Amino acid sequence: MSRPELVAPPEIYYGDTEAKKYTKNTRNQQIQADMTYRALELLSLPPDEPAFLLDIGCGSGLSGEILDEEGYMWAGVDVAPSMLEVALEREVEGDLFLQDIGQGFGFRPGSFDGAISISVLQWLLNAETSHATSSPPHRLTRFFTTLHSALKNPSRAVFQFYPSSDDQITLISTIAQRAGFTGGLVIDYPNSNKAKKVFLCLMVGGGGHVPKGLDGDGDAAEDSTTARFERRRERERARSRGGKRKSIKDRDWILKKKELYRKRGKESVPNDSKFTGRRRKAIF
């Protein structure tokens, strides 16, 4: 899997060309849309109540478009100016901010009814300078504490991200807990490399439990309850149990074999008799 966050910081990686490319790619659009719907589902906002959401790392507004469709009001922050420019061109409804989430938010307490973030957190895990405020733990702490206060109580924040190791998951969740969040990881399709998606589901004010991840294989091509060669093994067992196959070493088989050897000119082939192929007595 390619890891753009290891190439350059986001505001540089997503320059003009990359921002356009990313937004135009229909596969990206599809994946982002699916994950946004899933994140909204995990957010489990009360139905029929208009909500004001924060889209963290909104980029070119691929997820924001879905929020518009679903009828939510939202504000989005992103650190890449080129991405925001594309978002302006696409005329999304939300308010956009050029902001580095690692520097924290300035929103007043209780501003938002929820927050979603699609494929963003992994960008916070690389230090860009040696300055103390640039270390990943410091940035994550600042991010989670200011986010915690910007959310109303009770509410939720759902982050989809691509961790590259278990250490990263531990780092992120411990810092989030220290900032006052409860909740945990939701992993969809854990057995599939391709369809696996990691969601960090954080809650303000406790209450409620972490939802369960989706099972199955994502593309539903295989049934994950049976192993790969199970069916063939099953078939073979059925055949042997059915008793259709005879014991091969009966009298006819022996006579046929002996005939064959004689024809080939093999020496010392025993003569046929009435005892050929007969079972010995048990007392032998």
Partner 1 sequence: MVRLMTHNLLACHAKGCTTNNFPLALKDVQIELRESDFNPDFLKGFLPKLDWPALVLAARQLGDETLPLQQPEMLDDEFLKNLHHVLLEIHIEEGSMTCPNCAHVYPISNGIPNMLLAEHEIG
Residue with the two structure tokens 């679903």? 70
Q: Which is nearer to partner 1, 40 or 186 (CB)?
A: 40
- Name the residue nearer to partner 1 (CB basis): 62 or 87: 87
Neighbours of 254 (CB within 10 A): 15
Q: What are the φ/ψ torsions at residue 202 (nearest 5 degrees)?
A: -105, 145
Binding site for partner 1 (CB under 8 A): 49-52, 73, 75, 77, 79, 81, 84-85, 88, 93-100, 103-108, 110-111, 129, 131, 133-134, 142, 146, 152
Tokens 């302006």 correspond to what residue? 88
C-alpha distances out from residue 72 to 154, 183, 276, Å: 18, 24, 89
- Dist. CA 50–CA 171, nearest whole Å: 34
Task: State which residue, 74 or 189, has the beta carbon closest to partner 1.
Answer: 74
Taking the least distance from each CB to partner 1, the nearer of 40 and 84 is: 84
- Closest contact distance (angstroms) between CB of 5 and partner 1 is 19
CB 209 to partner 1: min, Å = 26
Minimum CB–partner distance for residue 46 and partner 1 (Å): 10
DSSP string for 210-277: PPPPP-S-SS--S-TTS-TTHHHHHHHHHHHHHT-SPPS-SHHHHHHHHHHHHHHT-S-PPPP-TTTT
At closest approach, how far in Å is the CB of 142 from partner 1?
6
In 3D, which of 110, 120, 104, 118 has the Cα closest to residue 51? 110
CB of 94 to partner 1, least distance (A): 8
Q: At its nearest, how many Å lie between partner 1 and the CB of residue 55?
A: 12
